[in-house]
Amino acid sequence: MRPPALRNPFAAKPLPEQPDIEAAALRSDRFRLEREGDWRRLEQIVRRLERGSIRRLSDEDIVDLPVLYRQAASSLAVARETSLDAATLRFLEDLVTRAWYQVYGPRVGLFRWLARFLGGDWSRAVRAIWLDIVLAFTAMAAGVAAGWLLVARNADWYFTLVPGAMAGGRVPGASRAELAETLATGSDAGGLSAFAAYLFYNNATVCILAFALGFAFGVPTLMLLIYNMAMLGAMAWLFASVGLLPEFLAWLSVHGTTEFAAILLAGAAGVHVGRNMAFPGEASILSATAEAGQRAALVMLGCVFMLVFAAVLEAFPRQLAGFEARIVIGAFMLLVWLSLFVLVGRKGSLDRGDTA
């Protein structure tokens, strides 16, 4: 008995019979004809939306848009699985992509979004986390007090709290004239001083970490705020010890009212996320965290604007302005931020669900 012949795996597959090709083409034509009316209607709606003619759409078209989009997406999936003709496949891919942007894509451009963000969205998000702002502010105030008291009791604490790169010539034992020189105005704005550059880098880092560490129920965020502000308390004691505290606060206020406000909001955003994880209320932990994360991210985005603005203030006005001008600039910026967060976007706050 002869063994069965082995099949060659590399042999060319036979071409499909002519009737099979005709049947596939017939199925493709029937598939397209059954759905082409809805595709064309979706294409007309999308074309009008792309031209900005939304007012010309009827209520029925607006209601049917998501339905027609889902039907077209389903047709595209079928077309890919059944290998329909290439022309139909390309048409559906283009139509579904364009329709997706109209159904789920952004509704406004960059400048309009920025105007809406600064015109109320950011302020409402800040007011919504007022309790977390109180907690973060308490931690920052405690840090300033702790730094002042520790150094007042033992000057060696100054070198523990204040890094050498930040201290420079601002150390215990320096004379009043030496410390006053570090606060003097410059002859030009050729660049930031080493202290100013380090201070900005430090505060920007603190903002990022304060927000990122909020997932651990906000505890590391509060500890970070306390430590960071302890450095400020230590330096405030140093200048106060030689009678230069008003000059130091004026020098710091030019950018400090913006930069430290950004730290406060970043810390509050991190605490907000952690607090909602620890106490989700009636909602699940995931849903409560997701909602808090969206609100906190909006606040954090505003902190980026504040840090950039603080860098400009740090590079120019603080280096060139005198004592009185520094006080005026710092007070003015504090008033600007308070007005923005307290007054802007009040209308419609309740409708948007601005609650802590």
pLDDT tens-digit readout, 224-236: 999 999 999 999 9
Is the per-residue pLDDT at 237 higher than 60? yes
Q: Is residue 11 part of a domain?
A: no
Among 52, 87, 104, where does a domain finish? 104
Distance CA 35, CA 347 (A): 46
- 130 shares its domain with 32: no
Q: Is residue 352 part of a domain?
A: no
Residue 348, in any domain of the structure: no
Q: Is the pLDDT of residue 320 over 90?
A: no
Query: Do 200 and 314 share a domain, yes or no?
Result: yes
Q: For 27-53, what is the mean pLDDT?
A: 82
Q: How many CA atoms lie within 13 A of 280 on its CB side?
A: 12
Domain final residue pick, 71, 104, 137 = 104
Are 94 and 169 in the same domain? no
Structure token digits, residue 323: 């004592």
Evaluate if residue 350 carries a pLDDT over 50.
no
Please, what sign has the CA dihedral across residues 251, 300, 114, 200? positive
pLDDT greater than 50 at residue 308:
yes
> Do residue 169 and residue 301 come from a single domain?
yes
Work out the average pLDDT over 308-336: 80
Confirm whether 153 is domain-assigned: yes
Which of these, 264, 246, 250, 244, lies nearest to 329 by C-alpha position? 250
Question: How far, in Å, CA of 88 to CA of 114, rounded?
Answer: 40
Give how many domains the chain has, as a whole number. 2
**Statement to judge: residues 219 and 309 lie in one domain:** yes
- In whole numbers, what is the pLDDT of the chain averaged over residues? 82
Tell me, yes or no, whether 52 and 192 share the same domain. Answer: no
- Residue-range definition of the domain harbouring residue 66: 19-104
> In this structure, is residue 349 part of a structural domain?
no
Tell me, yes or no, whether 8 lies in a domain.
no
- Whether residue 244 is contained in a domain is answered as yes
Q: For 193, how many CA atoms within 13 A lie in the half-sphere containing its CB?
A: 22
The answer, yes or no, to whether residue 104 has pLDDT greater than 80, is no
Considering the chain, what percentage of its residues have pLDDT values greater than 70? 80
Q: Answer for the pair 233, 153: CB distance below 8 angstroms, yes or no.
A: no
Cβ-in-10-Å burial (0-12, 13-18, 19+) of 141 comes to middle
How many C-beta neighbours within 10 Å does residue 234 have?
A: 27
Does position 240 have pLDDT exceeding 90, yes or no?
yes
Report which residue type is found at 206.
V
75 and 206 inside one domain: no
Question: Average pLDDT in the 201-207 region?
Answer: 82
| 270-286 pLDDT per residue, tens | 999 999 999 988 888 88
* 132 and 93 share one domain: no
- Asked if residue 195 and residue 74 are part of one domain, the reply reads no
Neighbours of 64 (CB within 10 A): 17
Are 183 and 242 found together in one domain?
yes
pLDDT value for 23: 57
Query: Helices 219-240 and 130-153, interaxial angle, to 10°?
Result: 40
190 in a structural domain: yes
Same domain, 89 and 136: no
Q: Where among 73, 104, 135 does a domain terminate?
A: 104
Are 27 and 86 within one domain? yes
